[in-house]
């Protein structure tokens, strides 16, 4: 596997792992712990999702760098644009709105329900789908140029 293709594959899988572990596992599970109150869970969530967002920007930058090094000779740049659009929307609209709501709840304010969290989850599902399709297309493009991947058992 050429280095940029291998790099793209590893980065997209790493990003997928972060997304699955944090958004789809840690986030809902922390509220099932006996001693985790809503304010504590939201406080922890604010820190974790802010960190995840920064990591996602780094991973996206690495993917873009890999595509530039490969001179965009594969079918994945469209999915990179989708990932960029999702990250922009989450970073500059959804996360700030959710963060402000969390701060208000942590401070003890009673606030009306909102669908913003459901939008965030929907965009996380869309991001996961884009990452899976990105990885699939990256591997398919590599195989078309270099033949099927061979796995060594030694």
Six-digit token pair at 38? 């809503």
Higher per-residue pLDDT: 58 or 4: 58
Radius of gyration of the chain from Cα atoms? 18
The 10s digit of each residue's pLDDT in 5-61 is 677 888 999 999 999 999 999 999 999 999 999 999 999 999 999 999 999 999 999
Reported as a pLDDT band with limits 50, 70 and 90, residue 3 is low
Please report whether residue 82 resides in a domain: yes
Domain count, the chain: 1
Please report whether residue 153 resides in a domain: no
Q: What residue numbers bound the domain in which 53 lies?
A: 3-145
67 closest CA partner among 14, 127, 130, 4: 4
Q: What are the contacts of 14-17 at 24+ separation with CB within 8 A? A: 14/59, 15/56, 15/59, 15/60, 15/131, 16/128, 16/131, 16/132, 16/135
Model confidence, pTM? 0.86
Please report whether residue 150 resides in a domain: no
Please report whether residue 151 resides in a domain: no
- By percentage, how much of the chain surpasses pLDDT 90? 68
């Amino acid at each position: 596997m050429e280095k940029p293709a291998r790099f793209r594959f590893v980065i997209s899988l790493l990003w997928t792992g972060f997304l699955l572990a944090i958004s789809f596992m840690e986030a809902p599970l922390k509220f099932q712990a006996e001693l985790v109150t809503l304010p504590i869970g939201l406080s922890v969530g604010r820190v974790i999702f802010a960190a995840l967002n920064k990591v996602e920007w780094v991973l996206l930058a690495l993917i873009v760098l890999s595509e530039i090094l490969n001179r965009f000779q594969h079918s994945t740049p469209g999915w990179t644009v989708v990932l960029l659009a999702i990250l922009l929307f989450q970073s500059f609209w959804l996360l700030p709105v959710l963060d402000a709501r969390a701060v208000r709840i942590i401070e003890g304010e009673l606030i009306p329900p909102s669908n913003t969290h459901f939008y965030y989850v929907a965009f996380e599902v869309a991001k996961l789908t884009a990452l899976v399709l990105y990885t699939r297309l990256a591997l398919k493009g590599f195989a078309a140029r270099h033949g099927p991947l061979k796995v060594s058992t030694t």
